């Protein structure tokens, strides 16, 4: 096992804190206080979409929308697999330490395998997303009474839960790509690893999960169109 320094362990602790602990807490918080999180509100919007599709019987629109999501998830899964293949070829088939001009080949290999692990988790997340969306594309047109009877809950709740689960898994896979940048920074220096992890985590907290950034009112008034 390669020798890791104190800065490496600090970076790893921050990385695991944001990728595992933070997302676990955020998921629970979104379930208990949905109106205070972006994900919680969007989950409610998805439920109204499912209900409206079922009430109107507009299943063609639903299947087209789901197909678009499947295409996006398939592209991301393929990208994850391609990244894994390239990294494995680079790690196993060559000398990564020499290519990256680093003196510790064992440590570099450890970091590259950590990066492969991140893309592997992202690949599985996108794969499960496609699975859930494929189920949804079939069940959206199934008999509602049969779903109510077999699942023990109403159809809208069951299908919206399936849709939200697919969306959550897509989010996890997408964030695997975000945090892969931190691992890339780690390859070059542990301080860069720490800084990148903090920047990505701050972006999630401040811009994506709890409050979307809004243009200040002063700037809005400056660029507001005028009709004189």
pLDDT 10s digits, 60-97: 999 999 999 999 999 999 999 999 998 888 777 666 65
Does residue 28 register a pLDDT over 50? yes
Domain ranges of the chain: 38-189
CB atoms within 10 A of CB 189: 13
Contact 180, 71 (CB under 8 A): no
CA distance 62 to 131: 16
Global pTM reads: 0.85
CA distance 223 to 228: 15
Contact 112, 186 (CB under 8 A): no
Give mean pLDDT, residues 149-165: 93
Contact 54, 156 (CB under 8 A): yes
Q: Give the end-to-end CA distance of the chain in Å, rounded to a whole number.
A: 71
């Amino acid at each position: 096992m390669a020798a890791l320094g104190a800065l490496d362990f600090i970076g790893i602790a921050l990385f695991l804190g944001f990728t595992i602990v933070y997302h676990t807490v955020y998921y629970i918080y979104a379930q208990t206080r949905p109106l205070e999180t972006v994900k919680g509100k969007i989950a409610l919007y998805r439920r109204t979409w499912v209900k409206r599709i079922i009430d109107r019987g507009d299943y063609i629109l639903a299947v087209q929308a789901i197909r678009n999501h499947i295409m996006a998830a398939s592209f991301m899964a393929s990208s994850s697999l391609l990244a894994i293949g390239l990294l494995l070829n680079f790690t196993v088939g060559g000398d990564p330490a020499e290519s990256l001009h680093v003196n510790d080949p064992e440590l570099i290999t450890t970091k590259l395998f950590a990066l492969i692990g991140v893309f592997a988790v992202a690949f599985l997340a996108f794969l499960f997303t496609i699975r859930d969306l494929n189920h949804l594309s079939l069940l959206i047109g199934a008999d509602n009474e049969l779903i109510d009877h077999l699942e023990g809950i109403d159809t809208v709740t069951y299908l919206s839960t399936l849709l939200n689960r697919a969306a959550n898994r897509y989010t996890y896979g997408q964030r695997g790509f975000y945090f892969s940048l931190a691992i890339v920074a780690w390859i070059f220096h542990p301080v860069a690893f720490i800084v990148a992890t903090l920047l990505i985590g701050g972006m999630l907290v401040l811009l994506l999960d709890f409050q979307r950034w809004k243009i200040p009112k002063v700037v809005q008034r400056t660029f507001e169109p005028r009709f004189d």
